């Protein structure tokens, strides 16, 4: 089974993030979920993004790197929305990455290096009408990431919700969350150490 480092979204380390991590654990995987916000949580997406901007994205990336430094190199990096930043950076730059799971966001590969590393499979998940994912360039970056690659996939779900896997919120879409979790579990089951 795989070991996963899962980074939370802009609402912080919420109960919904914990529930998502627990679902992966029930499939037999080891999941680490560091708190990049050091105990702060938000119920409003804009407030959470505002806090991330206040402390700085470089600070969040550094906290993600510190969390990874305590773990084995052979790991799968996963991120939910804002958490994609440290997950994608580590998948692209830290030796030994076994894969990347990017939910609700994807940045241009050039942000963290010239090319996606060979042999590092990835999945990107997002809703096909999510204004954050579609209108802010993440969908275009995801399409570029998977173009011509047999080990990288983009999965689109019908809907507009950004945090569609976040249980206990109005944005939670149970059917899409279940299918996303199933696809991620299959990905993790296939990871070879």
Q: What's the CA gap between 115 and 187, in Å, rounded?
A: 22
* Residue whose structure tokens are 């409003």: 44
Please check whether residue 57 is in contact with residue 174, taking contact to mean a CB–CB distance below 8 angstroms: no
pLDDT at res. 193: 56
**CA-based torsion, 9, 131, 124, 186: positive or negative:** positive
CA 44-168-66 angle, to 5 degrees, is: 65
pLDDT at res. 146: 97
pLDDT at res. 113: 84
Question: CATH for 3-190?
Answer: 3.40.50.1820
What are the structural domain ranges in the chain? Answer: 3-190
Q: Give the residue among 73, 74, 138, 70 at the shortest CA–CA distance from 104.
A: 138
Q: What's the CA gap between 2 and 34, in Å, rounded?
A: 17
Please check whether residue 166 is in contact with residue 14, taking contact to mean a CB–CB distance below 8 angstroms: yes
- Using DSSP's 3-state secondary structure scheme, residue 61 falls into helix
pLDDT at res. 114: 78
CA 3-8-13 angle, to 5 degrees, is: 110
Q: What's the CA gap between 67 and 60, in Å, rounded?
A: 11
Rg of the Cα trace of the chain?
A: 15
Please check whether residue 84 is in contact with residue 64, taking contact to mean a CB–CB distance below 8 angstroms: no
- Which residue positions in the chain have pLDDT lower than 50? none
Q: What is the pTM of this model?
A: 0.96
pLDDT at res. 107: 97
pLDDT at res. 192: 66
């Amino acid at each position: 089974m795989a070991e996963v480092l899962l980074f939370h979204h802009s609402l912080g380390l919420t109960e919904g993030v914990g529930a998502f991590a627990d679902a992966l654990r029930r499939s037999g995987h080891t999941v680490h979920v560091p708190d990049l916000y050091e105990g702060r949580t938000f119920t409003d997406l804009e407030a959470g993004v505002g806090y991330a901007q206040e402390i700085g994205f470089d600070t969040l990336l550094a906290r993600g790197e510190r969390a990874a430094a305590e773990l084995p190199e052979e790991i799968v990096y996963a991120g939910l929305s804002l958490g994609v930043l440290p997950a994608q950076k580590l998948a692209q730059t830290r030796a030994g990455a076994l894969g990347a799971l990017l939910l609700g966001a994807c940045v241009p590969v050039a942000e963290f290096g010239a090319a996606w590393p060979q042999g590092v499979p990835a999945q990107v998940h997002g809703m096909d009408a999510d204004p954050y994912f579609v209108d802010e360039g993440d969908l275009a970056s995801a399409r570029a990431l998977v173009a011509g690659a047999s080990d990288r996939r983009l999965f689109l779900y019908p809907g507009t919700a950004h945090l569609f896997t976040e249980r206990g919120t109005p944005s939670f879409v149970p059917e899409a969350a279940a299918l996303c979790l199933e696809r991620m579990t299959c990905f993790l089951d296939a990871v070879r150490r």
